[in-house]
């Protein structure tokens, strides 16, 4: 099977096709051609898994596990071929058979096992870990369906299941022999062990579910280091309690891994969500502990060998579960167990939005996980005691408690049980320590630290923008491809007129690519000679897609009323999914589509503007969209967007940030300088100061532009039904505009005008873009991962020469 030349690849491909499908290459379908190739690359990658594991087995060095309910991987074929250095060889080998590799690449569906930024961050981290030759594996759920697929029907979002496993997942390997039993429901039986004088806790009458792991290789670039993403799948156990309703049991088992939770909350959904959370951490910990005990006599040194990063609070029950394992399965005393457990976990917070902070009703956890709940209670009891002893402040105890008001605060559990707590951008971490977690910061300041997010430049620049990669390589040499800090060499050439022109040509080529993608997939026509102004991210009120479309509405009115109006032709592109139960977000999607339709049907307006809502925004769309854009819309209400990572993808591909001082925009603006981005609007502290006396109606009354734009939400301009957008109108005017859209509107209009001015001089514009690219090294996830290693994980880089 091994191949390292074109000829050996071709022979292996012929043989693999026969072995897999009993066909010759001429007889095979496109899907069979694709699957055969994937199978070969998987085998290649797995041989590197073997080398990596072999080495780690010998050295017994510390490993990090990234526990995350989401890994938004996207497609893997291109990325894996590129990282393995096999792309060209395979491309030309296939061409000899008359097979176009691009066509096979397009057969792969996105692995959409996540909602948005949090899941994509986890995927970027895996790429950087393997590339930096660090022992770091992912742990997650093998969802049967990814995040829903979005259709736009009559201008509205419609959700349909994302059947990502329809063609099978050619990258994974099932390991039935490594299955772990996970228990739900039942109750705790307490008995006295008279020999030891200790109480025995046993989880009895439980419903048992079998967690079966599927491993995917995570291939590093230019190295044999290959890590694992372990995905757990729930299957029926043959250990059923008597009288169990068999079909009901199977249905319950199947529900656990059915789909990615789209962050909306129904009661029934909450139970399933808690099951998901416990399921994948119990299975993950089960296999980590087993693995550890194969090499070590006890769990005493677990914290020297294992570090677990909790991606948000979703895996927070890990803390109680590891306590349970140590107390109940291995007979540890509480204090000894706690001293080990609290050195294993580190917690990353990804949001300050109170609606998104997990709090589970006590009753739910107690019903589902009686023993784990009793351990959470004990952690809470002891923590309350510690806080009281130190402070003698009962209010403080209540504010910091883990269990409060009949709810378990998962963030508090995470902070108490972890040795490190980090935010994901400088401003975000500042808000955590000043505000959201202030009491904790005062109590245990040493735990808190910042790790500004990053993105993998391999997927987001080198592989998805080959034209820019080539231009950069010609200008500054190839070193930046393997050491991204070298990209800064570009800075000395930003005034080079030829480079500026060449950059604009590359951008135009990428625009053509996006146009082709939109035409082929959605039959959408876009003028590649227009400014591409893009907002692509989940739809949330705080991200203010509404402000963006209100600005377009304002432009529309100007076109219709001012005879001499002119502006550079602009395409406003949107990509966004709304949680299925998020009514306002769905209305905003409808509004965007209705405005798009109105403008398309109005030749006078269509001369200047086009609005495009790209359906089913996902990783693959982002790969086309980000690098074709000129303007990057990052316009959240200051203080609300923890970091953002799309902002980094745009920047790295030479788009200008039109943004508020929020999340990582702050650090982008620090690096490129205020003159190389377009920052506008109220700052986080100004938003907080305004909050108590903000009256949105005043802005509406005092600014005729706002009044006209907002009024057209309810005067049938964009919908034949007058009350179609009344919810949006009410949100702004009656419910006082929680996210300060109207307060920032005037500044936003001005910022757009300035952007147009800058764009009017191609040399000025190209220079801005080049500075942004040159300054993007800091936003590589390679940098982020190195920071985690240095401050939190303390894992050791593997030598390339040890992986042969």
Report residue 198: phi and psi, to 5°.
Answer: -105, 155
Indicate whether 424 belongs to the interface with ligand 26V (CB under 6 A): yes
**Annotated catalytic, 537?**
yes
**Annotated catalytic, 543?**
yes
Indicate whether 642 belongs to the interface with ligand 26V (CB under 6 A): yes
Q: CA 199, CA 378: separation in Å to the nearest integer?
A: 15
Provide, rounded to whole angstroms, the least separation between the CB of residue 443 and ligand 26V. 24
Provide, rounded to whole angstroms, the least separation between the CB of residue 727 and ligand 26V. 16
Nearer to ligand 26V, 738 or 802 (CB): 738
Helix axes 704-711, 741-759, angle to 10 degrees: 100
Indicate whether 423 belongs to the interface with ligand 26V (CB under 6 A): no
Indicate whether 659 belongs to the interface with ligand 26V (CB under 6 A): no
- Interface stretch with ligand 26V, choices 346-354, 456-464, 523-531, 704-712 (CB under 6 A): 346-354
**Annotated catalytic, 290?**
no
Nearer to ligand 26V, 234 or 789 (CB): 789
**Annotated catalytic, 33?**
no
Q: Which of residues 660-679 bind ligand 26V (CB under 6 A)?
A: 663
Instruction: Count CB atoms within 10 A of the CB of residue 516.
Output: 13
- Interface stretch with ligand 26V, choices 136-144, 397-405, 642-650, 752-760 (CB under 6 A): 642-650
Q: Which of residues 425-444 bind ligand 26V (CB under 6 A)?
A: none
Nearer to ligand 26V, 125 or 373 (CB): 125
Alpha helices in 73-225 (DSSP H): 77-83, 87-96, 101-107, 117-131
Indicate whether 350 belongs to the interface with ligand 26V (CB under 6 A): yes
**Across the strands, what pairs with 448?**
421
Q: CA 84, CA 218: separation in Å to the nearest integer?
A: 11
**Annotated catalytic, 511?**
no
How is residue 484 written in tokens? 């991204």
Q: CA 649, CA 575: separation in Å to the nearest integer?
A: 15
Nearer to ligand 26V, 4 or 264 (CB): 264
Residues 6+ positions from 752 with CB-CB distance below 8 Å: 551, 658
Residues 6+ positions from 336 with CB-CB distance below 8 Å: none
Indicate whether 112 belongs to the interface with ligand 26V (CB under 6 A): no
Nearer to ligand 26V, 124 or 372 (CB): 124
Q: Give me the residue label for tokens 């199978």.
A: 39
Residue of 74, 117, 217, 284 that binds ligand 26V (CB under 6 A): 117
CA distances from 686 to 562, 693, 694 (A): 34, 12, 11
Residue of 112, 644, 654, 681 that binds ligand 26V (CB under 6 A): 644
Indicate whether 454 belongs to the interface with ligand 26V (CB under 6 A): no
Q: Which of residues 556-585 bind ligand 26V (CB under 6 A)?
A: none
Nearer to ligand 26V, 324 or 350 (CB): 350
Residue of 25, 353, 396, 444 that binds ligand 26V (CB under 6 A): 353
Provide, rounded to whole angstroms, the least separation between the CB of residue 118 and ligand 26V. 3
The b/e string for 609-629 (b: 16+ C-beta within 10 A; e otherwise) is bbbbbbbbbbbbbbbbbbbbb
Residue of 150, 481, 500, 645 that binds ligand 26V (CB under 6 A): 645
Indicate whether 113 belongs to the interface with ligand 26V (CB under 6 A): no
How is residue 651 written in tokens? 């920047």
Residue of 110, 263, 513, 630 that binds ligand 26V (CB under 6 A): 263
Residue of 140, 453, 465, 616 that binds ligand 26V (CB under 6 A): 453
Instruction: Count CB atoms within 10 A of the CB of residue 125.
Output: 27
Nearer to ligand 26V, 302 or 308 (CB): 308
**Annotated catalytic, 645?**
yes
Report residue 29: phi and psi, to 5°.
Answer: -80, 170
Nearer to ligand 26V, 172 or 782 (CB): 782
User: Nearest to residue 76, comparing CAs of 280, 192, 229, 295?
Assistant: 229
Question: How many residues touch ligand 26V (CB under 6 A)?
Answer: 20
Most distant CA pair in the chain, distance: 94
Provide, rounded to whole angstroms, the least separation between the CB of residue 612 and ligand 26V. 24
User: Nearest to residue 559, comparing CAs of 488, 610, 522, 515?
Assistant: 610
Q: Which of 226, 348, 645, 784 is catalytic?
A: 645
Indicate whether 451 belongs to the interface with ligand 26V (CB under 6 A): no
Angle formed at CA 672 by CA 669 and CA 674, multiple of 5 degrees: 55
Provide, rounded to whole angstroms, the least separation between the CB of residue 499 and ligand 26V. 31
The set of long-range contacts for 16-25, using a CB threshold of 8 Å and a minimum separation of 24, is: 16/40, 25/97, 25/99
Instruction: Count CB atoms within 10 A of the CB of residue 584.
Output: 16
Q: What is the DSSP string of 9-20?
A: HHHHHHHHHHHH
Report residue 340: phi and psi, to 5°.
Answer: -85, -50
Q: CA 574, CA 549: separation in Å to the nearest integer?
A: 10
Residue pair 729/721 in contact (Cβ under 8 Å)? The answer is: no
Q: CA 377, CA 374: separation in Å to the nearest integer?
A: 5
Q: Which of 649, 671, 767, 775 is catalytic?
A: 649
Pattern of binders to ligand 26V over 519-548, x per CB under 6 A? ---------------------x--------
- Interface stretch with ligand 26V, choices 116-124, 162-170, 278-286, 763-771 (CB under 6 A): 116-124
Q: Hey, which residues are catalytic here?
A: 350, 537-538, 543, 645, 649
Give me the residues that bind ligand 26V (CB under 6 A), please.
116-118, 121, 263, 312, 350-351, 353, 355-356, 424, 453, 540, 641-645, 663
């Amino acid at each position: 099977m091994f191949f390292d030349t074109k000829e050996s690849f071709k022979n292996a491909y012929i043989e693999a096709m026969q072995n897999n499908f009993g066909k010759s290459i001429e007889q095979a379908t496109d899907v069979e051609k694709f699957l055969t190739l994937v199978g070969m690359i998987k085998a290649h990658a797995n041989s590197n898994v073997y080398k990596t594991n072999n080495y780690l087995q010998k050295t017994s060095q510390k490993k990090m596990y990234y526990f995350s309910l989401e890994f938004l991987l996207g497609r893997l074929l291109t990325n894996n071929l590129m990282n393995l250095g096999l792309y060209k060889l395979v491309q030309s080998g296939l061409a000899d058979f008359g097979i176009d590799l691009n066509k096979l690449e397009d057969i792969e569906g996105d692995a959409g096992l996540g909602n948005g930024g949090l899941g994509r961050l986890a995927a970027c981290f895996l790429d950087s870990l393997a590339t930096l030759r660090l022992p770091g594996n992912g742990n997650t759920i093998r969802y049967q369906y990814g995040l829903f697929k979005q259709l736009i029907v009559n201008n509205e979002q419609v959700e349909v299941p994302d059947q990502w496993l329809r063609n099978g997942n050619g990258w994974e390997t099932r390991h039935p022999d490594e299955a772990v039993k996970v228990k739900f429901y039942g109750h705790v039986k307490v008995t006295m062990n008279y020999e030891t004088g200790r109480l025995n806790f046993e989880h009895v009458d439980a419903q048992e579910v079998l967690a079966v792991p599927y491993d995917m290789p995570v291939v590093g670039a230019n190295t044999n280091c290959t890590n694992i993403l372990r995905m757990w799948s729930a299957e029926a156990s043959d250990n059923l309690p008597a009288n169990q309703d068999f079909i009901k049991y199977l249905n319950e088992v199947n529900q656990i891994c059915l789909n990615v939770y789209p962050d909306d909350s129904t009661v029934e959904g909450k139970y399933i969500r808690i099951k998901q959370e416990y399921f994948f951490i119990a299975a993950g910990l089960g296999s980590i502990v087993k693995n550890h005990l194969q090499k070590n006599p006890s769990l005493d040194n677990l914290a020297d060998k294992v570090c677990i990063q909790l991606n948000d609070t979703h895996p927070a029950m890990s803390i109680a579960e590891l306590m349970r394992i140590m107390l109940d399965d291995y007979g540890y005393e509480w204090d000894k167990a706690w001293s080990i457990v609290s050195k294993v976990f580190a917690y990353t917070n990804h949001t300050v939005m109170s609606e998104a902070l997990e709090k589970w009703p006590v009753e739910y956890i107690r019903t589902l996980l009686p023993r784990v709940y009793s351990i959470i209670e004990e952690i809470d009891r002891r923590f309350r005691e510690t806080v009281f002893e130190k402070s003698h402040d009962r209010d403080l105890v209540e504010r910091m408690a883990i269990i409060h008001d009949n709810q378990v605060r998962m963030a508090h559990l995470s902070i108490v049980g972890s040795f490190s707590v980090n935010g994901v951008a400088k401003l975000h971490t500042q808000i955590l320590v000043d505000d959201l977690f202030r009491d904790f910061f005062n109590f245990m300041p040493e735990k808190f630290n910042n790790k500004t997010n990053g993105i993998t430049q391999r997927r987001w620049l080198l592989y998805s923008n080959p034209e820019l990669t080539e231009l950069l390589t010609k200008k500054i040499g190839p070193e930046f491809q393997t050491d991204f800090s070298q990209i800064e060499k570009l800075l000395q050439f930003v005034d080079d007129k030829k480079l500026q022109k060449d950059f604009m040509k590359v951008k135009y080529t990428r625009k053509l690519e996006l146009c082709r993608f939109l035409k082929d997939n959605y039959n959408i026509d876009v003028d590649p000679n227009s400014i591409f102004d893009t907002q692509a991210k989940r739809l949330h009120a705080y991200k203010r897609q509404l402000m963006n479309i209100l600005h377009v509405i304002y432009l529309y009115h100007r076109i219709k009323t001012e005879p001499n109006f002119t502006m550079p032709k602009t395409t406003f592109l949107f990509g966004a999914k709304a949680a299925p139960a998020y009514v306002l977000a769905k209305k905003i999607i409808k509004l965007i589509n209705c405005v798009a339709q109105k403008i398309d049907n109005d030749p006078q307006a269509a001369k200047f503007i086009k609005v495009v809502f790209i359906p089913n925004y996902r990783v693959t769309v982002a790969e086309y969209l980000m690098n074709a854009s000129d303007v990057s819309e990052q316009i959240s209400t200051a203080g609300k967007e923890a970091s953002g990572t799309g902002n980094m993808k745009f920047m790295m591909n030479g788009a200008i940030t039109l943004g508020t001082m929020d999340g990582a925009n702050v650090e982008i603006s620090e690096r490129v300088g205020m003159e190389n981005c377009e920052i506008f609007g109220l700052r986080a502290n100004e938003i907080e100061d305004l909050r108590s006396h903000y009256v949105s109606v005043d802005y509406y009354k005092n600014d005729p532009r706002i009044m006209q734009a907002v009024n057209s939400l309810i005067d049938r301009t964009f919908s034949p039904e007058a009350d179609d957008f009344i919810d949006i109108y009410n949100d702004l005017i009656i419910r006082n505009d929680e996210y300060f859209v109207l307060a920032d509107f005037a500044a936003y209009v001005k910022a757009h005008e300035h952007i147009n001015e800058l764009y009017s001089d191609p040399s000025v514009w190209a220079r801005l873009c080049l500075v942004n690219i040159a300054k993007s090294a800091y936003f590589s996830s390679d940098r982020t991962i190195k920071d985690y290693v240095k401050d939190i994980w303390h894992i050791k880089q593997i030598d390339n020469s040890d992986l042969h």
